[in-house]
A and B are shown apart, each in its own frame.
Chain A
Amino acid sequence: MSDAGNTQGDALAVQHAFADTVRDPSARHSFNFEARRLAVYQELFFNNVEGFAASAFPVLKEIIVATLGEDNWLRLVRRFMVEHRCETPYFLQISEEFLRFLQHSMDAGNSESLPEYAWQLAHWEWMELHADVTPTESSMLISTLSDEQLLHANISLSETAWVCAYDYAVHTLDAEHHEVQAVPTYLMVYRNGQDDVGFNEINALSAALFETLRQQPDQTAEAVLLSLADASGLPAQTVLSGGVQILQQWQRMCIVFAHS
């Protein structure tokens, strides 16, 4: 095995060729790597990446395997290895790289066989992981306030609460329930002071309230709810009385914090 000479370019050419063929066993190169030994790397690397994808996106994998067959899933993982350039050194963020690959792939029309909701489902699965591990700066203090006090308190959102809008009820999907119609779905994900992660399906108005809180931080609950009433065209009193109940509930769940 002395295909390479002894210049800098040759050693790097060996490394490039080796990495290329580990990624893509069909890649052509001019080096004489022993097939049986090369196969150890090809298998180890593929299984490793497949393991990351499968553990981050178990439902997506389950649905693809059940509806399109395992080969289809394995081809998707192989395409991720070959086509996508992973920038992150952090293992938990490989799922974000996979999401980017999936989006790019679906946008480019390269995943005709995948269900239309594949990216949104994958995003939802990533969201659950993200909620579990995202770091926070502030502590979570719950204050007990009357509805009247709450209305006049400044409201801030937790760093660990998110609302995601999907075109499908992605949280209901699995191998038995994979043929679904599009229906606007708002999912709230949160991590509380005990580091437990939970999620709720919420209605459009609650989602709009969350979004208003995000866009207008540290205003009083009353100001936020009135601005929401204005935007939605609903009667102010309805939004105020309904909204304060939602905010009370969100306070108990560590989704919002009230500061007087």
Chain B
Amino acid sequence: MSNSHISGAGLGLRRGMLDPMSALTTNDVDFLEVAPENWIGVGGRFGKAFAEFAERFPMVFHGLSLSIGSPDPLDETFVKQVKAFMRQHNVSLYSEHLSYCSSEGHMYDLMPLPFTEETVKRVSTRIRTVQDILEQPIAMENVSSYVTLPGQMSELEFMNAILAESGCTMLLDVNNVYVNSVNHGFDPRHFIANLPSACIQYCHIAGHYDEADDLLVDTHGAAIKDDVWALLAHAYQHHGVKPTLLERDFNFPPMAELLKEVNQIKAIQQSMVSYSTSGDGSHLQHEVNRCV
């Protein structure tokens, strides 16, 4: 299926949810998101199921192992394998995390980066290498974090500097903005409002876990909180309606319940139609040249 233009509301495809998801159609979800690391080189029943989903739905790849900020060398062989897999399944968008998940070997989860000018330069160089191999921009996601590492920049300054320096686009994870705003004490609305609209390719929304009043953990294992829904509407108001994906990795509820959240995304998108045409004009004009 051709999918250069995803739109609407999407859902992540997980191996553990193949059965309940096989009954879905594009009337239920507009696109699927997939971690290529879970499917590259996989044959048998899983390989066949994957190929069927790729035929039936527009798909975006959301990687986990690129480790763009790693102190280890960039794994260019891996990037080429992702590229081949994108071509094979006609997938045109690849997003990854602005973080690192390896240091002298893979660790299989995301660690935050120090927000410094040096990190901006180093990571931007790596992003450009990936984009040169892929022959297209990659969308970088703002990640949730639970510690503050030494560094002189704010997360917003860091994100914007990466976008400007590397020419990448952005996957705006609204839940991660919310989680970080609590964990690091900033205004999530200000963060979102000050991102360049034209760079935002799509959004993520998910549930999180309240570890303490000042410490939230991005588990993807719970229903989405009202504050996060409000933040998604806020993002649409500022940047126009963006394709948005519901992330759910653990504690899977019945499909009907997940679809309720997917439908809530669709409802917010529809209620915003007026915003997406008028929008925050001056802001859009100011940023529009950067990511296109």
From 140 to 180 in chain B, residues with beta carbon under 8 angstroms from any chain A beta carbon are 146-152
Complex alpha-carbon distance, A1 and B215, angstroms:
18
Cβ–Cβ contact A15 & B108, under 8 A: no
- Asked whether any CB of chain B lies closer than 8 Å to the CB of A199, the reply is no
Cβ–Cβ contact A84 & B105, under 8 A: yes
- Asked whether any CB of chain A lies closer than 8 Å to the CB of B75, the reply is yes
Q: How large is the interface on B (under 10, 10 to 19, 20 to 34, 35 or more residues)?
A: 35 or more
Cβ–Cβ contact A14 & B150, under 8 A: yes
Closest A residue, CB atoms, query B35: A91
- Asked whether any CB of chain B lies closer than 8 Å to the CB of A229, the reply is no
Complex alpha-carbon distance, A191 and B45, angstroms:
10
B156 to A: closest C-beta gap in Å: 18
Cβ–Cβ contact A195 & B44, under 8 A: yes
From 97 to 140 in chain B, residues with beta carbon under 8 angstroms from any chain A beta carbon are 100, 102-109, 111-114, 116-119, 122
A94-B108 contact, Cβ under 8 Å, with A6-B116, A15-B71 = yes
Cβ–Cβ contact A4 & B45, under 8 A: no
Cβ–Cβ contact B147 & A41, under 8 A: yes
B266 to A: closest C-beta gap in Å: 31
Closest B residue, CB atoms, query A132: B44
From 242 to 265 in chain B, residues with beta carbon under 8 angstroms from any chain A beta carbon are none
- Asked whether any CB of chain B lies closer than 8 Å to the CB of A7, the reply is yes
From 24 to 43 in chain A, residues with beta carbon under 8 angstroms from any chain B beta carbon are 31, 33-34, 36-38, 40-41
Cβ–Cβ contact A89 & B44, under 8 A: no
Complex alpha-carbon distance, A8 and B116, angstroms:
9
Choose from A18, A52, A191 the contact partner of B149 (Cβ within 8 Å).
Answer: A18
Binary per-residue interface labels of chain A (44-55) against chain B in the complex, 1 for a CB within 8 Å, 0 otherwise: 110011001000
- Asked whether any CB of chain A lies closer than 8 Å to the CB of B237, the reply is no
- Return chain A residues, CB-CB under 8 Å to B270: none
Choose from A6, A12, A91 the contact partner of B117 (Cβ within 8 Å).
Answer: A6
Complex alpha-carbon distance, A141 and B158, angstroms:
57
Cβ–Cβ contact A11 & B105, under 8 A: no
Choose from A45, A88, A191 the contact partner of B44 (Cβ within 8 Å).
Answer: A191
- Asked whether any CB of chain A lies closer than 8 Å to the CB of B19, the reply is no
A11 to B: closest C-beta gap in Å: 5
Cβ–Cβ contact B217 & A40, under 8 A: yes
Cβ–Cβ contact A19 & B107, under 8 A: yes
From 109 to 141 in chain A, residues with beta carbon under 8 angstroms from any chain B beta carbon are 131-136
Complex alpha-carbon distance, A171 and B183, angstroms:
48
A131 to B: closest C-beta gap in Å: 8
- Asked whether any CB of chain B lies closer than 8 Å to the CB of A174, the reply is no
Complex alpha-carbon distance, A131 and B45, angstroms:
11
- Asked whether any CB of chain B lies closer than 8 Å to the CB of A218, the reply is no
Cβ–Cβ contact A15 & B100, under 8 A: yes
- Return chain B residues, CB-CB under 8 Å to A44: 109, 217
Closest B residue, CB atoms, query A15: B71
- Asked whether any CB of chain B lies closer than 8 Å to the CB of A201, the reply is no
Cβ–Cβ contact B107 & A22, under 8 A: yes
A11-B44 contact, Cβ under 8 Å, with A37-B215, A90-B37 = no
Choose from B75, B111, B118 the contact partner of A11 (Cβ within 8 Å).
Answer: B118
- Return chain A residues, CB-CB under 8 Å to B70: 15
- Asked whether any CB of chain B lies closer than 8 Å to the CB of A148, the reply is no
B165 to A: closest C-beta gap in Å: 15
Cβ–Cβ contact A52 & B116, under 8 A: no
Best-surrounded residue of A49, A191, A195 (most CB of chain B within 10 A):
A195
Complex alpha-carbon distance, A249 and B212, angstroms:
62
- Return chain B residues, CB-CB under 8 Å to A81: 107
Complex alpha-carbon distance, A166 and B78, angstroms:
34
In the complex, 16 of the A-B residue pairs with CB atoms within 8 angstroms, ordered by the A residue number, are: A1-B149, A8-B118, A11-B122, A15-B69, A15-B103, A15-B114, A16-B104, A19-B102, A34-B147, A36-B212, A48-B108, A88-B106, A89-B106, A90-B41, A135-B43, A135-B47
Task: Enumerate the 7 nearest inter-chain pairs by beta-carbon distance, A residue then B residue, closest first.
Answer: A135-B43, A19-B103, A89-B65, A85-B105, A4-B150, A195-B45, A86-B106
Residues of A within 8 A of B (CB): 1-4, 6-8, 10-12, 14-16, 18-20, 22-23, 31, 33-34, 36-38, 40-41, 44-45, 48-49, 52, 81, 84-92, 94, 131-136, 160, 191, 195, 197
Inter-chain pairs besides A18-B112, A19-B107, A45-B107, 14 sampled, C-beta below 8 Å: A1-B150, A4-B150, A16-B71, A16-B104, A18-B111, A19-B104, A33-B149, A40-B217, A86-B107, A89-B67, A92-B38, A92-B42, A131-B44, A133-B42
